[in-house]
Structure 1
Amino acid sequence: MSEWSVAEPQRLSFDAPVTALQVRIVNGTVNVVGTEESSARLEVSRIEGPPLRVTEQDGTLTVAYEDLPWKGFLKWLDPRGWRRHAVVSLAVPADTGVEVGVVGATAVISGIRGETAVRGVSGETTLVGLGAAVCAETVSGDVEAQGVTGELTFHSVSGDLTLLEGAGAVQAVSVSGSLTVDHERADPPARMELSTVSGRIAVRLPHQADAEVEAGTTSGAVSNAFEDLRVSPAWGPRGISGRLGRGRGRLRATSVSGPIALLRRAPEDEPEAPAATSGKKVL
Structure 2
Amino acid sequence: MTDTAPETSGSYRAGFLTFVGRPNVGKSTLTNALVGEKIVITSPKPQTTRRAVRGIVHRPDGQLVIVDTPGLHRPRTLLGERLNDVVQQTLSDVDVIAFCVPADEKVGPGDRFIVEQIGQFPRPRRIALVTKAETVGRDVLAQRLLEVDELAEWDAVIPVSAIEGIQLDTLVRELIALMPESDPLYPADMITEESFEQRAAELVREAALADAREELPHSIAVTIDDVVLRDDGSTREVYANIVVERDSQKGIIIGRGGERLRRIRETAQRELDRISEGRTILSLHVKVAKEWQRDPKQLGRLGF
TM bucket by the smaller chain? under 0.3
TM-score (norm 2): 0.26
TM-score (norm 1): 0.27
Q: Using CA pairs under 8 Å that are at least 6 residues apart, name the structure with larger relative contact order, 1 or 2.
A: 2
Higher gyration radius (CA):
1
Whose strand fraction is larger, Structure 1's or Structure 2's? 1
